[in-house]
Amino acid sequence: MCGIVGYIGNKEAQDVLLKGLSRLEYRGYDSAGVAIVRGTKIEFDKKQGKLKTLISDLKDAPIKGTLGIGHTRWATHGIPNEVNAHPHLDCKKRLAVVHNGIIENYQELKKSLKREGHKFLSETDTEVIAHLIEKFYKGDLEAAVFKTLKLLKGTYAIAVVHKNEPDKLVGARADSPLIIGVGKGENFLASDAPAVLDYTKEVIFMDNHEVVTLTRDGVSIKDFHGRKVHKKPSKIKWDISQAEKAGYKHFMLKEIFEQGDILSKIIDERVANDRISFGELKISERAFKGFKNIAIVACGTAYHAGLTGKYMLEELVRIPSWIDTSSEFRYRDPMVDKDTLVIIVSQSGETADSLAALREARAKGATVLGICNVLGSTISREADGVIYTHAGPEIAVASTKAYTAQLAIFYLLTLYLAKLRKTISDKRYDYFMSEFKRVPGLVNDLLSEYKPEYNALEAYAEGFKRYYHQKHNKSTFLYLARNINYPNALEGALKLKEISYISAEGYPAGEMKHGPIALIDENPWVVCIAVQSKTYDKMLSNIQEIKARGGIVIGIATEGDREIMHQNINYLIEVPKVDELFSPLLVVIPLQLLAYYVAREFGYDIDQPRNLAKSVTVE
């Protein structure tokens, strides 16, 4: 996903832009560039590869000026190279534009502009924006941008500067996030808050189909009809240090180790005298009492959190609950209506498929509840109600703390609904609430066994790497679990594959005889989640089947479980004892760490894995 930064003020724009782009590196990218209004010219520099290449180039030849735009590009149209990197300029290099999103009708626009004599340099969709603004520019940049936007189909967040207007920075958004950083004598544009937090915590979240014109002392927002829109800045509650590594080698490791404290904060914020409240929620108790079914819709890790939520909701609230990936839900004419609560789970709140699913659900009359982490994100603002996970900025592409925070919100929502709809006794409610309150401490105890100095999971990862090379790099992983931990089997597999690029599959253990057991010889390595539960004996049978065929088993069991010691498993990981309902919050910790240590063994870019972006804002 691309990153945009814009600056207008009295500082050297180059410094502000590069700092802002460095805060957006987590989004994943393959090239970077800046354009600055210098006197009566636009000067620019753009480089393929990591930001440090651009920084070193600019160190040798800095670009002076106090107005500019910057960009990190995650290629959608055109290979990653310098020509296709942003910013893109018009024919006469009088204006520059950066863009996050996809212009779906760029080919026809490009053909028409070429017929009018415009010369294109790149293969990108974005370049058509620069030439359209050039075509419509008659001395008023904002007016030229308005005319351009009317022709664009697709998604965009853009920032534009023009050499003739050194006191203006223009931005616009349609379905790609764009925020305004409000400073004193300076203003900022960015794709996400971390890019401006070194300078201001006052941000305005732009809505769809809005255009903003920033000067050094003013912010003017208009809708696409040209009508003024008044918005008050929100104050970002966390500071930039939370978006830094704090001594950890990777953001992912830092975010894994934050989980116990975040779970504790979530409970403290939402539970008072054992009563649950969601504060900002705009869905009434009456509505919650009336829903006849629940649809949970999400992508990736958020989908796994939602699948775990499905188990909780059906067990305690006894309401039919189903789940779908956003990309499937949005195209299959789903059976939702006014009696359906649709829960959209999304850390970023900007995932294109999940946003489209939200709009589809609302169009069908369903009530939509968003569970999001990013304040002011599009999904959080278009849903009927939102519960923020308040996990703080999640920088690593591989989601960890957002996942356990989503689970925590599902636990609270489940208990809230069970009490409201009287589907569990007060006694059971009190029992579950007391068990849930134990979890943050148990997570911290578990994490303390895996402090970043040498630990058992690092040894398992080293063992796997040796085995992997002995088997000529053909080894894979299979994750097995049952019931409420089955989503964790999927999540453990996703964590491993997305940062170590090793093939890994999560499966319901009861399905082994229906096919996957054919895989078993001494490969794949099989992670079996066998904590104390109603299906524990069945998991032991699965382990025996695997061992009988020479398989290698990593067992995840409850501390003190002696029976599993007799199963001849190869590696044992123990997690603290807690009611089965809450065990996913503990089981996932070693799954995250195992993935982290294996990826570290292979020396990959753990925080920014290849081909991935932190939030998929394009289809």
Tell me the catalytic residues: 2, 614
Rounded least distance, CB 114 to ligand AGP, Å: 36
Span interacting with ligand AGP, options 42-50, 334-342, 344-352, 574-582, rule CB under 6 A: 344-352
Six token digits for residue 447 = 């994490």
Span interacting with ligand AGP, options 170-178, 266-274, 294-302, 427-435, rule CB under 6 A: 294-302
Distance in angstroms (rounded) separating the CA atoms of residues 17 and 321:
46
Rounded least distance, CB 205 to ligand AGP, Å: 16
With respect to ligand AGP, which residue has the nearer C-beta, 177 or 300? Answer: 300
With respect to ligand AGP, which residue has the nearer C-beta, 89 or 368? Answer: 368
Distance in angstroms (rounded) separating the CA atoms of residues 397 and 559:
31
User: Cis omega (within 30 of 0) on the bond before 524?
Assistant: yes
Rounded least distance, CB 259 to ligand AGP, Å: 14
Can you give the length of the chain in residues?
A: 619
Indicate whether 367 belongs to the interface with ligand AGP (CB under 6 A): no
Contacts (Cβ under 8 Å, ≥6 apart) of 9: 16, 66, 183, 185, 186, 187, 216
Indicate whether 351 belongs to the interface with ligand AGP (CB under 6 A): yes
Indicate whether 490 belongs to the interface with ligand AGP (CB under 6 A): no
The residue among 434, 481, 437 whose CA lies nearest residue 590 is 481
| Contact with ligand AGP (CB under 6 A) among 31, 48, 213, 354 | 354
Q: Give the amino acid at 180.
A: I
Distance in angstroms (rounded) separating the CA atoms of residues 178 and 161:
16
Distance in angstroms (rounded) separating the CA atoms of residues 231 and 267:
31
β-pairing, 154-162 vs 88-89, is: unpaired
Contacts (Cβ under 8 Å, ≥6 apart) of 203: 179, 180, 181, 182, 193, 196, 233, 234, 236, 376
Indicate whether 306 belongs to the interface with ligand AGP (CB under 6 A): no
Distance in angstroms (rounded) separating the CA atoms of residues 58 and 12:
13
| Contact with ligand AGP (CB under 6 A) among 347, 378, 532, 592 | 347
Rounded least distance, CB 330 to ligand AGP, Å: 13
Indicate whether 615 belongs to the interface with ligand AGP (CB under 6 A): yes
User: Hey, which bits of 332-450 come out as E strands?
Assistant: 340-346, 367-372, 385-388
Indicate whether 301 belongs to the interface with ligand AGP (CB under 6 A): yes
Span interacting with ligand AGP, options 189-197, 329-337, 395-403, 416-424, rule CB under 6 A: 395-403
Span interacting with ligand AGP, options 135-143, 150-158, 263-271, 342-350, rule CB under 6 A: 342-350
β-pairing, 385-388 vs 367-372, is: parallel
Indicate whether 259 belongs to the interface with ligand AGP (CB under 6 A): no
DSSP codes of every residue in 555-600:
EEEETT--GGGGG--SEEEEE----GGGTHHHHHHHHHHHHHHHHH
| Contact with ligand AGP (CB under 6 A) among 100, 148, 259, 348 | 348
DSSP codes of every residue in 478-491:
EEEE-GGGHHHHHH
With respect to ligand AGP, which residue has the nearer C-beta, 155 or 351? Answer: 351
Distance in angstroms (rounded) separating the CA atoms of residues 96 and 45:
12
Rounded least distance, CB 552 to ligand AGP, Å: 25
Distance in angstroms (rounded) separating the CA atoms of residues 468 and 442:
33
Rounded least distance, CB 550 to ligand AGP, Å: 32
Indicate whether 191 belongs to the interface with ligand AGP (CB under 6 A): no
Residue with tokens 């500082």: 11
Indicate whether 389 belongs to the interface with ligand AGP (CB under 6 A): no
Indicate whether 176 belongs to the interface with ligand AGP (CB under 6 A): no
In sequence order, what are the beta bridge partners of 339? none
Rounded least distance, CB 368 to ligand AGP, Å: 14
DSSP codes of every residue in 434-480:
HHHHHHHHHHHHHHHTT-SSS-HHHHHHHHHHHHHHHTTT---EEEE
Q: Give the amino acid at 607.
A: D
Distance in angstroms (rounded) separating the CA atoms of residues 54 and 35:
12
| Contact with ligand AGP (CB under 6 A) among 65, 300, 551, 584 | 300
With respect to ligand AGP, which residue has the nearer C-beta, 424 or 527? Answer: 527
| Contact with ligand AGP (CB under 6 A) among 255, 384, 498, 580 | 498
With respect to ligand AGP, which residue has the nearer C-beta, 94 or 495? Answer: 495
Distance in angstroms (rounded) separating the CA atoms of residues 51 and 71:
10
Rounded least distance, CB 68 to ligand AGP, Å: 29
Span interacting with ligand AGP, options 91-99, 233-241, 340-348, 500-508, rule CB under 6 A: 340-348
Distance in angstroms (rounded) separating the CA atoms of residues 420 and 224:
43
Indicate whether 299 belongs to the interface with ligand AGP (CB under 6 A): yes
Rounded least distance, CB 107 to ligand AGP, Å: 28
Indicate whether 54 belongs to the interface with ligand AGP (CB under 6 A): no
Distance in angstroms (rounded) separating the CA atoms of residues 164 and 315:
64
Distance in angstroms (rounded) separating the CA atoms of residues 26 and 333:
35
**Interactions with ligand AGP, residue window 574-613 (CB under 6 A):** none
With respect to ligand AGP, which residue has the nearer C-beta, 16 or 490? Answer: 490
Query: How many CB atoms lie under 10 A from the CB of residue 333?
Result: 9
Residue nearest to ligand AGP (CB): 300
3-state helix, strand, coil in the chain (%, to 5): 40, 25, 35
Indicate whether 488 belongs to the interface with ligand AGP (CB under 6 A): no
Rounded least distance, CB 372 to ligand AGP, Å: 8
Indicate whether 380 belongs to the interface with ligand AGP (CB under 6 A): no
Indicate whether 502 belongs to the interface with ligand AGP (CB under 6 A): no
Distance in angstroms (rounded) separating the CA atoms of residues 201 and 234:
8
Span interacting with ligand AGP, options 133-141, 258-266, 300-308, 415-423, rule CB under 6 A: 300-308
| Contact with ligand AGP (CB under 6 A) among 346, 414, 488, 500 | 346
Helix (H, G, I), strand (E, B) or coil at 278: coil
**Interactions with ligand AGP, residue window 11-40 (CB under 6 A):** none
Six token digits for residue 446 = 């578990």
Rounded least distance, CB 339 to ligand AGP, Å: 26
Indicate whether 377 belongs to the interface with ligand AGP (CB under 6 A): no
Residues that bind ligand AGP (CB under 6 A): 299-302, 346-348, 351, 354, 397-399, 498, 615-616
